[in-house]
Structure 1
Amino acid sequence: MVQKVPLREWKKAKTKQALLQACLELVGEKSFREVYVDELCRKVEISKVTFFRFFPKKEDLLLYFMRLWLTDRLLELAESPKRGLQALRHLFQKLDEDAKENPGIMLSLIGFLTEEKMHPCMPELTEAEYHLYYPGKEERAASLAPSLYELFQRCVEEAMEDREIAADRDVNELVIGLFTIFYGAYLTTHLYQSQDFISFYELHLKLLLR
């Protein structure tokens, strides 16, 4: 399967992966605003022209990270029996783990989103990127819709079917509440100078479902 991907496209995918990794490493040391395109290009040994060919603006790296993160979660849920509240807690657990592995990246994403007028669309992945990130699972990964709203909606509806949430609750209101928890609980944990992200997520989820 990989042999069918043109070498040029494979190199592009590897370069984007290297840029993302460089970004994660630098954001672990300082804020995203202090990370400059020149610095990323030096680490990956490419020109700024090449960088902007892949990412029209630096902040697109944050969306690329979120796209891959969401696809990873969708694949995990597709391959496990988790649903409803258990699926939501799986997402929050992964956020907790990622906060420790890649400190600062989610805060950078939250900061970027505060400047946007609407939640940005997730970037598309190329065939080469599916092969690079999801070997052996390319077709399944490509079939998944990278929509956080749809994922939250599915979890809420499953929780209602399983009687974990009262059936008379408004689905859209709960989804909006989950967006607030997804980003807000992370920020609150940071403001409280805590590393116990999962406890803050559980607290907010309990308040939402009362």
Structure 2
Amino acid sequence: MTSSDWSPAFTARVAGQLRRARKAAGLTVAAASEACASASLPIPATTITNLETGRRTSVDLGEFLVLSQVYRVPPVTLLFPLDAEPTVEALPGQNIPAWDALAWFTGETRLDHPAPEGSPREVLDLFRAHSDAVTTALTSARMARERRRKATLATDAGRRAALLDTVAAHEELAGEDQRELHAFRDRMRERGLTPPPLPDELGGGGPSAEGQV
């Protein structure tokens, strides 16, 4: 496919995915248009129809994002669907597996060496590592609470004592995970980055609340 053919063909593929997503969401074109207006970006029904039928050969980025939200699908899956063709022409003349295309778009392509510090990829990886740390801290905190709940409900004194012994270990692990998370967030701030808000379970009240862990 030539470079001049690639762009309209890519748009047509995305338009087909948008039509598929709209139908899966159970929306008529008119209902989708109304939902877009409710999302503060009115998109006329004629625009949606023209896009889906190929009469429109380009996709406005803002419209694309709002339609993705209205149809409740991750935008990247409309660009590179994993349940369609196994390969996709991600760029002119570059046919690659759909998963590789999606990973490239989301910055998850495997690297032989760590990305240089301060590069967009390194910052992206840093935020992903933060997300992993949040998941770890949430998991250990919930496990510790569940252990304490079971110990509280135990009617047999011996079993309660045994459970309380494990509670202390789980709570210590949970505390360690949270301290590591907050230290990670402090390092992000030192680099001028703003960590995402934490869940309430992990002191989501902001930096001042984090210092109380």
Same fold at TM > 0.5: no
Q: Which has the larger radius of gyration?
A: 2
TM-score when normalising by structure 1: 0.26
Structure 1 or 2: more helix by fraction: 1
TM, length-normalised to structure 2: 0.26
Identify the structure with the greater strand proportion.
2
